[in-house]
Amino acid sequence: GQQLNQSPQSMFIQEGEDVSMNCTSSSIFNTWLWYKQDPGEGPVLLIALYKAGELTSNGRLTAQFGITRKDSFLNISASIPSDVGIYFCAGYEETSGSRLTFGEGTQLTVNP
Amino acid sequence: KAGVTQTPRYLIKTRGQQVTLSCSPISGHRSVSWYQQTPGQGLQFLFEYFSETQRNKGNFPGRFSGRQFSNSRSEMNVSTLELGDSALYLCASNPFAGGALFMDNEQFFGPGTRLTVL
């Protein structure tokens, strides 16, 4: 199935560092979403973006909806150990109903 | 408000058997979607139900089916299980059909059912 190209695949950082990850697509998306998944659990919604160019923050998280509608990035500032997990970007295409297309995920490890 | 609940959380079956997974959406949510998550393929969309009707279907064989009841609860069934069906099956709900084309219709996920096929 179609997937978004998400990078990097994994990151190993020290506590307190900032993190950036991004997603690109060959298709235009109407909405971009960022989820975090902990082991054995379902993805938890972090941020939703609805308009091209939109920049949205949620605490230490900041995400942007690319102006071309084909990309998005997520930044995490001042990382802490509980940020560990897999981060997924996901998008809705206009004609896809409630069908989300997901990126491959970024595995984040934070060393205390 | 309670989140999306899925039962059972863990399931072990053997090849050739069938399995039924259950999902209760967030109260008031009428759209339920199912996803399969595997290490190799990532998160793949199975199908979406709204008002007891399948609205959208992913690229999975006919062995995968689902239904939705009048209270918006949903079940998915996999018949003639294969080893490759081992996966985390995730259910997600949102208030309306049509995805998050507008605010307040974001999709929320349950904890998943871990299916192992031996």
DSSP label of A82: G
Measured distance CA(A76)–CA(A57) in Å, rounded: 10
- Measured between CA atoms, the residue of chain B closest to residue A104 is B42
Residue B111: cis peptide before it, omega within 30 degrees of 0: no
- Helix ranges (DSSP H) in A1-112: none
Residue A46 — left, alpha, or beta (φ > 0 → left; ψ -120 to 50 → alpha)?
alpha
- Chain B hits for A50, CB-CB cut-off 8 Å, are 100, 102-103
Q: Give burial (CB, 10 Å; 0-12/13-18/19+) of A14.
A: exposed
DSSP class per residue in B25-47: PPTT--EEEEEEEETTTEEEEEE
Listed range (B2-6, B24-28, B75-79, B100-104) with the worst mean pLDDT: B100-104
Q: What angle do CA A57, A12, A56 make, to 5 degrees?
A: 10
- Chain A hits for B33, CB-CB cut-off 8 Å, are 98-100
The mean pLDDT value for B93-98 works out to 77
**What are A46-90's pLDDT values in tens digits?**
999 989 999 999 999 999 999 999 999 999 999 999 999 999 999
Examine the pLDDT at A1 and tell me if it is beyond 80.
no
B8 touches A: beta carbon within 8 Å: no
Q: Label residue A100 by pLDDT band (50, 70, 90).
A: confident
B21 touches A: beta carbon within 8 Å: no
Mutation choice for A interface testing from B44, B109, B113, B116 by most A CBs within 10 A: B109
- Chain B hits for A65, CB-CB cut-off 8 Å, are none
- Measured between CA atoms, the residue of chain A closest to residue B50 is A98
B99 and A98 within 8 Å at the Cβ level: the answer is yes
Q: Give burial (CB, 10 Å; 0-12/13-18/19+) of B114.
A: middle
**What are A7-51's pLDDT values in tens digits?**
999 999 999 999 999 999 988 888 899 999 998 899 999 999 989
